[in-house]
Structure 1
Amino acid sequence: MSGKIKVTLVKSVIGTKQNHRESVRGLGLKRLNQSVVLEDTPSVRGMINQVRYLVKSEVI
C-alpha cells in the first residue's frame, strides 16, 4: 500500500457526529467538493471508511 488516494468531500458535515467531522478535517477537507491526494496508509483508509457516506475516494 504505497500508492495515493484522492478523496473528495461530496456531502456536508452539518448534522453529523463530532468524531466524523473530526475525521473529515483530519483528511484535510474543509469545503464541499474539495479534493486532496493522500498517501495510502491504514490510518487514512480507516478515516475514509468511517466517513464513506460523506466522501468519494479513488486510488491514483
Structure 2
Amino acid sequence: MAEQVKITLVKSAAHRLPKQRAIVKALGLNKVQSSVVLPDNAATRGAVFKIAHLVTVEVVK
C-alpha cells in the first residue's frame, strides 16, 4: 500500500497570496483545523511546500 500524508490547516489562508489560497482550496482544506488524507507523491509534496507555513503534515499508513 502506498504511503499517504495527512495535511491539517493550522493557520488561516485569509489575507494570503491568491496562489496560496488557491492551493489550500485545491487540496480540499476549508476551515482551520480541517484535514485531508492524500497520496504521498510529487504533486502533493509540491503543493504542501508552497503553503508549508499554513499546514502540518503527518505520514499515515
For normalisation by structure 1, the TM-score amounts to 0.94
* 4+ aligned runs moved over 2 Å, structure 1: none
Backbone CA RMSD of aligned residues: 0.6
Q: CA deviation at 1:8?
A: 0.2
**Counterparts of residues 8-27 of structure 1 (less than 5 Å):** 8-27=8-27
Structure 1 portions without partners, runs of 5+: none
Give the equivalent residue in structure 1 for 2:52: 52
Between the aligned residues of both structures, percent identity stands at 37
Q: Please give the per-residue CA displacement for 1:4-37, whole angstroms capped at 9, x wherever unaligned.
A: 0000000001110000001111111011100110
Q: CA deviation at 1:42?
A: 0.3
Q: CA deviation at 1:41?
A: 1.0
Structure 2 portions without partners, runs of 5+: none
Question: Residue type of the partner of 2:32?
Answer: L
Give the equivalent residue in structure 1 for 2:3: 3
Question: Residue type of the partner of 2:58?
Answer: E
Give the equivalent residue in structure 2 for 1:31: 31
Aligned residues: 59
Q: Secondary structure at the match of 1:8?
A: strand
